Amino acid sequence: MEVLRPGDFYQGAHRILYEAMVDLYDRGRPIDQLTLSAVLKDRNAEQQVGGLAYLSEIVTSVPISDNVVHYARIVKEKSILRKTISAAQEISAAAFQGSPTSTSSSTGPSRRSSPSPRRRSGPPTTRWARWPARR
């Protein structure tokens, strides 16, 4: 499963379950309620995912696996939206505090799609050149 990463899931329980499923997949083992519960017991993570009753509920309530790629895309899209919202909140907070944002963040200003005005070099474009000068 290269599309998703555990951090893409909103709920911690789902991250743990996904990690267990990837582990089973990597070892060539079937992914079902029995194998998942065994992995969770080995990791002492049963209660972190809401118990084996929650696992049973998920297994019986999840739609057919034929649509797994579609569901994975939904999880990924929501993850991207959460990361975008988080980055926007950090930038907004920094702007209100009057301090520049950190460039070490992977979602920070260094990944902006448009260059900052200070980075612009060369003569202004004709569109900008047509503006009258302020007096």
State mean pLDDT over 22-36.
92
Residue 64 maps to a domain: yes
The total number of structural domains in the chain stands at: 1
pLDDT above 80 for 32: yes
Q: Which is more confidently placed, 58 or 128?
A: 58
pLDDT exceeding 90 applies to what percent of the chain?
33
Longest dimension (CA), the chain: 77
CATH number at residue 62: 1.10.860.10
Residue 121 maps to a domain: no
The whole-number pLDDT of residue 122 equals: 44
Block residue for tokens 């990690």: 19
pLDDT, tens digit, 9 for 90 and up, residues 48-103: 998 888 888 888 877 767 777 888 888 899 999 999 999 999 999 988 888 665 55
Residue 122 maps to a domain: no
Residue 46 maps to a domain: yes
**CA–CA gap between residue 86 and residue 89 (Å, rounded):** 5
Average pLDDT, the chain: 76
State mean pLDDT over 22-41.
92
CA dihedral 101, 105, 107, 111 (to 10 degrees): 80
Angle between helices 33-42 and 12-26 (to 10 degrees): 110
**CA–CA gap between residue 100 and residue 96 (Å, rounded):** 10
Alpha-carbon separation of residue 16 from 47, 88, 123 (angstroms): 11, 27, 54
The whole-number pLDDT of residue 15 equals: 92
Residue 83: HSE in the Cβ half-sphere, 13 Å Cα cutoff: 14
The whole-number pLDDT of residue 29 equals: 94
Q: Which amino acid type is present at position 15?
A: R
The whole-number pLDDT of residue 57 equals: 87
Residue 12 maps to a domain: yes
Confirm if 8 and 44 have CB atoms less than 8 A apart.
no
The whole-number pLDDT of residue 2 equals: 53
Q: Which amino acid type is present at position 86?
A: S
Residue 105 maps to a domain: no
Q: Which is more confidently placed, 128 or 101?
A: 101
Supply the range of the domain harboring residue 88: 6-95
Residue 69 maps to a domain: yes
